[in-house]
């Protein structure tokens, strides 16, 4: 189904990382691994390096995993990753209209079981109405009308994740600065509808939307800017995948997954969450802002 995890980039990447780690932990060098598994050097290289043109045969992966002494559960997970490399992402139809490397983010977002998202300037893409998204995307003057429409469609499709209930259903925690709900993006009508959309989404059991009030003063988010933290720990296929920070920048996308890189962002998000209004109070503030736009 279109709203289920799909796409081969993330499974290939993680499979290669895990196979290489298992080989190193088994104290086998490449020559020994080849001799014991019976696989060719080119096959081993393609598997460990996540080659996009490689054919990932579950049988080869199982042989390697057992050669390295992996336990049955790990073998099953790795074989599952090999099978997942054959999936085709819904995103492939829009690839030409999207920024380079954005497919990697789409797959990470799809496989994540928890996403923590901070933004102080704009409503996050996963929460945007179609009209709000069109204004934001259309502000990039180098994009053609066709590209704007295609990117808006991608943004709307991504929002299916919010309502997905088939495993692995995800948890979404959004922290937003009050300033962004006061900023009239697209005019009063567009903004009022967008804010009502936030109120509706905040009622979903797996979605938490909190507001950092204006009187919170200086906070760490003002220095970091927008960021997302993606966690995969409840996804049986990617349980060993590292928590990843994603930062969307004008010059490109930045991914960070080392603990040294992730921890400062996790600490920042915790600090922001501590400064937020609670869920009910956040909804009240958003609803009040919507009514103000409607009355102006």
CATH value at residue 180: 3.30.870
Instruction: For residue 3, tell me if it sits in a domain.
Output: no
Distances (CA, A) of 257 to 39, 86, 114, 244, 261: 31, 25, 15, 4, 7
Q: What is the average per-residue pLDDT within 42-52? A: 82
138 and 258 housed in the same domain: yes
**Which of 84, 111, 138 finishes a domain?**
84
207 sits in the region (left: phi over 0; alpha: psi -120 to 50; else beta) called beta
Please tell me which residue, 101 or 31, carries the higher pLDDT value.
Answer: 31
Please tell me which residue, 186 or 240, carries the higher pLDDT value.
Answer: 186
40 and 142 housed in the same domain: no
| Banded model confidence at residue 52, pLDDT cuts 50, 70, 90 | low
115 and 256 housed in the same domain: yes
Residue 182 pLDDT > 90, yes or no? yes
Q: What is the average per-residue pLDDT within 220-235? A: 92
Instruction: For residue 4, tell me if it sits in a domain.
Output: no
pLDDT more than 70, % of the chain: 94
Q: What is the average per-residue pLDDT within 200-229? A: 95
| Banded model confidence at residue 262, pLDDT cuts 50, 70, 90 | very high
What's the rounded Cα separation, in Å, for the pair 87 and 135?
A: 33
Task: Give me the helices (H) in 41-176, please.
Answer: 41-49, 58-67, 72-84, 102-111, 130-138, 145-158
Please tell me which residue, 175 or 18, carries the higher pLDDT value.
Answer: 175
178 and 258 housed in the same domain: yes
180 and 53 housed in the same domain: no
**Which of 55, 84, 113 finishes a domain?**
84
Instruction: For residue 1, tell me if it sits in a domain.
Output: no
45 and 120 housed in the same domain: no
60 and 106 housed in the same domain: no
CATH number for the domain spanning 58: value is: 1.10.260.40
208 and 128 housed in the same domain: yes
Question: In this structure, what are the phi and psi dihedrals at residue 266, rounded to the nearest 5 degrees?
Answer: -65, -40
- Tell me whether strands 227-231 and 207-212 are parallel, antiparallel or unpaired: unpaired
Q: Which two tokens stand for residue 177?
A: 């600065």
pLDDT value of position 53: 66
Residue 29 neighbours by CB distance under 10 Å: 11
Domain extent, residue 133, equals 100-295
Instruction: For residue 2, tell me if it sits in a domain.
Output: no
52 and 178 housed in the same domain: no
Q: Which of 202-216, 230-244, 261-275 has the lowest mean pLDDT?
A: 230-244
51 and 198 housed in the same domain: no
Instruction: For residue 95, tell me if it sits in a domain.
Output: no
Please tell me which residue, 220 or 52, carries the higher pLDDT value.
Answer: 220
Which of 279, 93, 130 is closest to 204 using CA atoms? 279
Instruction: For residue 153, tell me if it sits in a domain.
Output: yes
Is 44:33 a contact under the CB 8 Å cutoff?
A: yes
207 and 249 housed in the same domain: yes
Total count of domains within the chain: 2
| Banded model confidence at residue 294, pLDDT cuts 50, 70, 90 | very high
Report the run of H or E that residue 227 belongs to, with start and end.
strand 227-231
| Banded model confidence at residue 23, pLDDT cuts 50, 70, 90 | very high
């Amino acid at each position: 189904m279109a709203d289920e995890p799909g796409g081969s980039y993330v499974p290939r990447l993680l499979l290669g990382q895990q196979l290489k780690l298992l080989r190193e932990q088994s104290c086998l060098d490449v020559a020994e691994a080849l001799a014991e598994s019976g696989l060719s050097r080119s096959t081993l290289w393609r598997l460990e390096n996540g080659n996009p043109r490689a054919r990932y045969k579950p049988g080869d992966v199982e042989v390697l995993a057992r050669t390295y002494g992996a336990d049955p559960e790990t073998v099953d997970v790795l074989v599952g990753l090999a099978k997942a490399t054959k999936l085709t992402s819904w995103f492939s139809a829009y690839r030409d209209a999207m920024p380079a490397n954005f497919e990697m983010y789409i797959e990470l977002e799809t496989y994540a079981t928890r996403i923590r998202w901070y933004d102080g300037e704009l409503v996050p893409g996963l929460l945007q109405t179609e009209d709000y998204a069109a204004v934001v995307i259309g502000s990039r003057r180098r994009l053609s009308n066709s590209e704007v429409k295609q990117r808006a469609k991608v943004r709307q499709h991504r929002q299916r994740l919010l309502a997905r209930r088939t495993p692995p259903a995800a948890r979404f925690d959004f922290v937003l600065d009050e300033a962004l709900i006061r900023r009239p993006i697209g005019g009063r009508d567009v903004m009022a509808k967008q804010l009502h959309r936030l109120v509706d989404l905040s009622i979903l059991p797996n979605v938490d939307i909190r507001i950092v009030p204006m009187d919170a003063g200086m906070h760490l988010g003002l220095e970091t800017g927008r960021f997302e933290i993606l966690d995969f720990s409840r996804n049986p296929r990617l349980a060993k995948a590292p928590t990843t920070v994603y930062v969307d920048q004008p010059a490109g996308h930045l991914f960070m997954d080392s603990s040294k890189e992730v921890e400062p962002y996790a600490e920042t998000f915790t600090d922001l969450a501590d400064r937020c209004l609670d869920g009910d109070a956040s909804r009240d503030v958003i609803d009040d802002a919507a009514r103000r736009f409607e009355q102006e």
